[in-house]
Amino acid sequence: MKNRAFHKELKTFRLGGVHPQDNKLSASAPLAQLPLPKQVTIPIIQHIGAPAKVVVQRGDTVRVGQVIAQHEGFISSNIHASCSGRIGIIEEVMDSSGFKHLAVNIRVKGDDWLETIDRTDTLVEGISLSRDEIVARVMEAGVVGMGGAGFPSHAKIKVPEGKTIDTLIINGVECEPYLTADHRLMLEKPREIIVGVRILMRALGVSRAIIGIEDNKHDAIELFDEWLREDKQIEVQPLEVQYPQGGEKQLIQAVLDREVPSGGLPADVGVIVHNVGTTFAIYEAVQKNKPLVERVVTVTGKDVKQPSNFWVRIGTPVIELITAAGGLPESTGKVVSGGPMMGKAIADLEVPVAKGTSGILMIAQAETKRAEEYNCVHCGKCIEACPMGLEPYRLLLLSKAGQSEKSKRENVLDCIECGSCSFVCPSNRPILDYIRLSKTKVKKLK
């Protein structure tokens, strides 16, 4: 019999890392269905790559799961109607990125799904599709990376030309404080996720998969371990709690002690990483023929009445989620889409939930105030924290001085924008703000 996962030594990544308070307030809130909104606004770009092309018109009637925008090219993604009803206005709206993008509005009527979609909870274990069929099905279903980046998933289950993949890593780390969407999904849909892992293994042609889960989700570790006791190919790897372990590069280092070369991809070291949410969506796409029309979103914050985890239809306005969790707390100064370390502050509570929206976090006014900024005291804490081995204090100075060439030589483009440096700086220096500026300039150099 296999070693039990919880007897395994905890692993973690080697460089940098910080330990923000994890504040997983919603960890014990079971997944609940958010009531259908009156209307949804579905951006046609929710992924990295080309925007999809709208194929419906104002006034059309759509059913849940129907394609409303068709992918354009391979690195692109289909967009489906997440609710049934009548197509409203198709115009540019502000999404959670803070930019305006074309979006399709649907006036919701009923909940009428395409009959090709299996909506039951029955677990379908047998995988009948071939590699290519899996890729096609995932592409059809519009699945994208749900950890936030939004890279089209079908492009990540095809082994890149000239590369060999030996290990699939499933990212169940959820290292962002507050967020519990992946945690709850792992607790409530472990068997579906495991089938999803097998689908991915078949598509990639690998015989080894490792599910990385941080030790603050002990229940999930035990649960997966239990279901995988007889499985010789999939194992669970418990990980020390440390941010940003959920970063692909950090997770690969933690689990396999391999380093993705600068500017390269995980495939360069024989690895593909998928997030548990994505893996679940792939299960649904392949086994249930269900496109990505809903996802789990954590709604949380220290003053939120009922920190919750909701199944939310894509395109639902953020305000609906906040209302369902007990309303916007009086104290709120900032609303963040995503986690507190890498999420985006949103100005407008009407912005729609997208495929990459993992959480809605309300931060109190008192906590949003930037503390007084001091000179850099050269404490080295930013260096100690940086998981990429950069010198953030120096990158800030170079950015301020407009020294793009030098910034490039100091590997500014390796920065994964995890925010650890800004988080840890005792002088409250806005390090990452300046690094972002620098990255934009350096990219233009080429």
Partner 1 sequence: MSQSLLTVAPSPHIHTELTIPQVMRGVIIAMVPALLVSVYNFGLGAVYVTGLSILFCAGAEWIICKYLLKREPSIADGSAVITGMLLAFNVPSNLPWHIILIGSLVSVGIGKMSFGGLGNNPFNPALVGRVFLLLSFPVEMTSWPQAVATWSLDGTTGATPLGILKDGLRAGETVPALMPQMPSYTDFFFGFQGGSLGEMSAFALLIGLGYMLYRKIITWHIPVTMIATVFVMTGIFWFIDPTRFASPLFHVLTGGVMLGAIFMATDYVTSPVSHKGMIVFAIGCGVLTVLIRLFGAYPEGVSFAILIMNAFVPLINTYLKPVRYGRKK
Residues in the site for ligand SF4, rule: CB under 6 A? 376-382, 385-388, 390, 392-393, 415-421, 425-427, 429, 431-432, 435
Residue 256's binding partner out of ligand SF4, partner 1, none, with CB under 5 to 8 Å set by partner kind: none
Cβ neighbours for 162, distance < 8 A, ≥ 6 positions apart: none
Q: Which of 344, 397, 403, 406 binds partner 1 (CB under 8 A)?
A: 344
Question: Residues 56, 117, 328, 397: which binds partner 1 (CB under 8 A)?
Answer: 328
- In the region spanning residues 121 to 180, those forming contacts with partner 1, defined by CB under 8 A, are 177
In the three-class reduction of DSSP (H, G, I as helix; E, B as strand; rest coil), residue 299 is classed as strand
User: Is 36 within 8 Å of 313 (Cβ atoms)?
Assistant: yes
CB 70 within 8 A of CB 52: yes
Partner that binds at residue 161, options ligand SF4, partner 1, none, CB closer than 5 to 8 Å by kind: none
Q: In what order do the strands lie in the sheet with 234-239?
A: 234-239, 209-214, 167-172, 271-275
The answer to the question of residue 236 lying near partner 1 (CB under 8 A) is no
Q: How far is the CB of 339 from partner 1 (least distance, A)?
A: 9
d(CA 373, CA 425): 10
102 touches, from partner 1, ligand SF4, none (C-beta below 5 to 8 Å by class):
none
Query: Which listed range, 47-55, 108-116, 278-286, 347-355, lies at the site for partner 1 (CB under 8 A)?
Result: 347-355
Q: Rank residues 219 and 384 by Cβ distance to partner 1 and give the closer one.
A: 384
Phi-psi region of 378 (alpha: psi -120 to 50; beta: other; left: phi over 0): left
- 391 part of the interface to partner 1, by CB under 8 A: yes
Applying CB under 8 A, among 59, 73, 162, 261 the residue interacting with partner 1 is: 261
Q: Is 259 in the site for partner 1 (CB under 8 A)?
A: yes
Minimum separation from the CB atom of position 253 to ligand SF4 (A): 13
Task: Classify 230 as helix, strand or coil.
Answer: coil
Interactions with partner 1, residue window 20-39 (CB under 8 A): 20
- Compare residues 5 and 18 and give the one whose CB is closer to ligand SF4: 18
**How many other β-carbons are positioned within 10 Å of the β-carbon of residue 133?**
12
266 neighbors 164 (Cβ within 8 angstroms): no
User: According to CB under 8 A, which one of 33, 130, 428, 440 is a site residue for partner 1?
Assistant: 428
For ligand SF4, give the closer residue by CB, 15 or 241.
Answer: 15
Q: Which parts of 182-323 are beta strand (E)?
A: 209-214, 234-239, 271-275, 294-300, 308-313
Which residue, among 241, 257, 238, has the nearest Cα to 249 in the 3D structure?
257
Q: Does 349 bind partner 1 (CB under 8 A)?
A: yes
Residue 98 interacting entry, from ligand SF4, partner 1, none, C-beta within 5 to 8 Å by type: partner 1
User: Which residues in 174-213 contact partner 1 (CB under 8 A)?
Assistant: 177
For residue 97, how many other CB atoms are within 10 A of its CB? 16
The contact mask relative to partner 1 for 36-75 (x = CB under 8 A, - = no) is ----------------------------------------
Strands laid side by side in the 308-313 sheet: 31-33, 308-313, 294-300, 359-364, 332-337, 344-346
Query: How far apart (Å, rounded) are the C-alpha atoms in residues 110 and 170?
Result: 36
The one segment of 56-64, 157-165, 274-282, 364-372 that binds partner 1 by CB under 8 A? 364-372
378 contacts partner 1 (rule: CB under 8 A): yes
Q: Which is nearer to partner 1, 285 or 346 (CB)?
A: 346
SS3 67: strand
| CB-based burial label for 30 (10 Å; 0-12, 13-18, 19+) | exposed
Q: What angle do CA 331, 337, 338 make, to 5 degrees?
A: 110
> In terms of CB distance, is 74 or 374 closer to partner 1?
374
Contact of 194 with 234, CB cutoff 8 Å: yes
Tokens of 328: 């916007």
Rule CB under 8 A: which residues touch partner 1?
A: 15, 18, 20, 98, 177, 249, 253, 259-262, 264, 328, 330, 332-336, 338, 340-349, 361, 363, 365, 367-368, 370-372, 374-380, 383-384, 386-391, 393, 411, 414, 417, 419-420, 422-428, 430, 432-433, 436
